[in-house]
Amino acid sequence: MVKLVQVGLGGWGRDWVAEVLPRVPGIEMVGFVDADPAMRAIAAKRLGLDDAVLFGSLDDAVAEAKPEAALVVVPLAAHAAVTEAALRQGLHVLVEKPFTETLAEARALVALAERLGLHLMVNQNYRHFAAPRTFRRLVAEGELGHVASLAVDFWKLFDANYRYFFLAEPLLSDMAIHHFDLMRFILQDEPVAVSAMSWSEPATPFEGRPAAACLVRFAQGAVVSYRGTWISRGPDTVWGADWRIDGSEQAALGTFRGNRGDRRGEDRVELYTTATQAVPAPLVATPFTDRAGALDGFAHWLRTGKPADGLSTGRDNLGSLALMHAAIRSAGEGGRLVGLAEVGP
């Protein structure tokens, strides 16, 4: 059993407790940390947590509960500080995405974890669905032929639950990190350059630009076109977006992670050799999906000492974070082609 302490009991942290932690075997929750007494009280009332497992500081949790790993579910601005504190306490860490606010912080944490011999992982939960894993297999095994292009579309209209109206690039700096990360995961390749343009419209509550379009070139030649928006009035996509991969032998189209209820219900991949002939592709078996899949992968890494294929380790995630920052830089400069070497990893 992996003895785990969770840091952060806000709305998303409480969702982890209610929806994710009970689904993953091999995890023993020994403590929950939040510096805010009100958050601890809400968690105790709504989740039935005993006061004995609720702590006001990580130091107290480590001293009393003796965890071996930490799940960091705090606001992005605190990711770096809390992750560093956990590592310095000798804890392995699974931290929510995006990894950190800056690449410099992320690089420093990766170096610290490696120096201390600890495992550091980022919760890129979209990797843990059947459809993207099937896309990855199709590309890796050459079933599509030479892959020259991908197209990814994400369309949503913000609602009352949206939390990031204050961000300068709310699409690129929050939601798109999922899709940027999956581009690398599916292609098993690294981006070399990106051009991005972002925009808004009159009278939205967004302080920044909630829509964007990007072109991303990868090292082996594939070009990805990405379009995303929080201000679409038409039919929306699922959270996983609509994906199309064009190869010299076949095209693969699909989607995953539905909008409501059981988000596993939208996994679909279809293969085309002509515009009218679709054949469902067998989906890669994925026993644990979404955040549960990430947590199970983290626990497996701790038990075996070896990350599973495609796990989003801290070092691996530097590539996704670099692509996000390069896209933001390009959008801020009117679409200038930005080489990844300008920002990292």
Is the residue at 51 inside a domain?
A: yes
Out of 101, 123, 145, a domain closes at: 123
Domain boundary at 59, 92, 123, which?
123
Give the angle 159-98-71 at the CA atoms, nearest 5°: 105
Are 79 and 192 within one domain?
Answer: no
40 in the same domain as 143: no
Q: What confidence tens digit (pLDDT) does each residue in 70-121 have?
A: 999 999 999 999 999 999 999 999 999 999 999 999 999 999 999 999 999 9
pLDDT in tens, 274-289: 877 899 999 999 999 9
Which CATH number covers residue 203?
3.30.360.10
Residue 345 pLDDT greater than 90, yes or no: no
Residues 88 and 221 in one domain: no
Q: Residue 173's domain spans which residues?
A: 127-286+322-339
Same-domain check for residues 87 and 148: no
Handedness of CA 263, 265, 267, 270 (dihedral sign): negative
Question: Both tokens of residue 173?
Answer: 């700096």
Q: Please indicate, yes or no, whether residues 232 and 274 belong to a single structural domain of this protein.
A: yes
Which of 302, 344, 315, 321 lies closest to 71, judged by CA?
302
The answer on 242 and 143 residing in a single domain is: yes
162 and 84 part of one domain: no
Q: Is residue 148 located within the same domain as residue 270?
A: yes
